[in-house]
Structure 1
Amino acid sequence: MSKLATTAVAILLLAVAAVALYRLLFWFPISIGGAEVGQTASLLTFVICAALCLMLFRGAKTEH
């Protein structure tokens, strides 16, 4: 994967992690198909996206 593509995906994951963190801090409700999405889903989303983002940024830094 090119350095530009890796950086673009890392920025996208960073944005998703930021939205998940915002939801965790300010507790706004999300419902999908009438079912409420719990805070645990936001916590998992934040942790996974933040970890992937860090891995991609580090990979883009060392890519030639």
Structure 2
Amino acid sequence: MHSQITGLKVAAVIFGLMALGQAGRLATQPEIQVSGTAMPLWPSAIALIVLLGLCLWLWRLAKAP
């Protein structure tokens, strides 16, 4: 049982770090080119919300009795 809780916490931390990366992209607003076309910022905003939600969800599951 302890290994499952550890796995949930590790996954939550990974999702949290990915969310921080997306937040950093939104904060710095770098210009990213994909095949010569500028990548908009709105996908990063959606990714931030989804990743943060997954992070919080998994962390709460790991803390549940």
| Same topology, TM > 0.5 | yes
Unaligned ranges ≥5, structure 2: none
Residues in 2 aligned to 1:6 and 1:35: alpha-carbon distance in whole angstroms: 37
TM-score calculated relative to the size of structure 1: 0.85
Q: Aligned residue pairs: how many?
A: 63
- Cα root mean square deviation, aligned: 1.7
Q: Give the Å deviation of 1:49.
A: 0.2
Larger radius of gyration: 2
Residues in 1 aligned to 2:11 and 2:35: alpha-carbon distance in whole angstroms: 28
TM-score calculated relative to the size of structure 2: 0.84
Identity %: 22
